Every structure is written in C-alpha cells, then in structure tokens.
Amino acid sequence: MSLDKDQVQQIATLARLKLGEDEYAESVEKLSKIVDFVAHLSEADTSGVIPMAHPLDIAQRLRPDVVTEPNDRDRYQENAASVSDGLYLVPKVIE
C-alpha cells in the first residue's frame, strides 16, 4: 500500500470529508491503487516540457470589471437550508 490510514485521514481532513470507520479500509486500498497507477507518469521524459494549463494553449479571456449580475438573492436563497434576513446561517463560529 502506497498510502496508510494516517495519510488518508489527513487527506480527508484537507478535503473536508468525514469518512465512516468502515470507509477507511476501502479508501486506503483504492486510493493506493490509484496513486500507484498514476505513478507511471514518472516514466515519461518531460525535461523541458512546459506544463499545459489550457487545452488550446491560450490565455483566459477577461471581461470588463463592471457589475453585470442582477441582485437575485432571495431566489438563490430558496435552496439554502438555513437563512435569516438575507443571511446564510451556520453554527456559531465565535464564542
């Protein structure tokens, strides 16, 4: 196994994912398989090759810095689990 339970736990924390105890064993096994599989890339000779960030090798288009979106807050908040006075509610962050 190229990954152990501690590493998977650390990755899950970074990814903000709570895994059940039973999910760990499977995650360690399958993630290790995936990591071993993608490790084949190290065999490719990439000296001097520029990393490709865009499939068409072009830069992202920029738009003028002006407001274009209408304020549709109420409609968007219909999908939220908990709102009040136009604000999204979350568990208490400051004691």
Phi then psi dihedrals of residue 87, to 5 deg: -110, 150
Exposure string of 65-87, with b = 16+ CB inside 10 Å and e = fewer, is eeeeeeeeeeeeeeeeeeeeeee
The span from the CA of 2 to the CA of 4, in Å, is 7
Q: Which of 1, 60, 65, 71 binds another protein (CB under 8 A)?
A: 60
85 secondary structure, DSSP code: T
How many residues touch another protein under the rule CB under 8 A: the total is: 54
66 binding another protein? (CB under 8 A): no
The minimum distance between CB 15 and another protein, in angstroms, equals: 4
> Which residues of the chain form contacts with another protein (CB under 8 A)?
3, 8, 11-20, 23, 26-27, 30-31, 33-35, 37-42, 44, 46, 49-57, 60-63, 72, 75-76, 78-82, 88, 90-93
